[in-house]
Copies of this chain bind each other. A is one copy, B any other.
């Protein structure tokens, strides 16, 4: 506990409000640092992986897809959910090939982040690969419609700077790769 103790919201009880196929909604009863009780609505979302795939000519491989949550068709880096028992590296190699037909021969981890600390349990781990093999083995979920987009990394940087990219994992990996190339 140590330094955390004065801030700790101790979880007393978890109640399931909704059990979904993709996510669960729970109500946590927490004990506040002053002893009072409070409720927190928490979404249990699956952990995800995402990757910035860079081809030998410097192009990045992105996907364009429609996202009903924000009702927009957006550009993103390839991403997907980690299956039970699966290593993050295996998951991201699998997802990249399934979505784009490009299989990373090796991957490098950027970082792990929590996408919505206020209410979601979900973490996303971001990777980079600049060593891709084109297998063409696309294998998407039956309800997954997406378009592959190749562009120079400098073009992606411009889209991020102009805030034309709204997806957090795509913005983050663009900034991280920019920084890596400058070092």
Which residues of A in the span 44-92 have a Cβ within 8 Å of any Cβ on B?
A: 45, 48, 64-71, 73-74, 76
Digit string of A20-33 for contact with B (CB within 8 Å is 1, else 0)? 11110100101011
> CA–CA, A70 to B114, complex, Å?
8
Find out whether the CB atom of B145 lies under 8 angstroms from the CB atom of A33. yes
Closest to A124 in B: B168
Closest to A178 in B: B179
Find out whether the CB atom of B68 lies under 8 angstroms from the CB atom of A28. yes
Expressed in whole angstroms, the minimum distance between the Cβ of A127 and any Cβ of chain B is 13
Give every chain B residue within 8 A of A160 (Cβ-Cβ). Answer: 111
Binding site for B on A (CB under 8 A): 3-4, 6-9, 11, 17-18, 20-23, 25, 28, 30, 32-34, 36, 38-43, 45, 48, 64-71, 73-74, 76, 111-123, 143, 145-147, 160, 163, 166-168, 171-172, 175-176, 178-179, 182
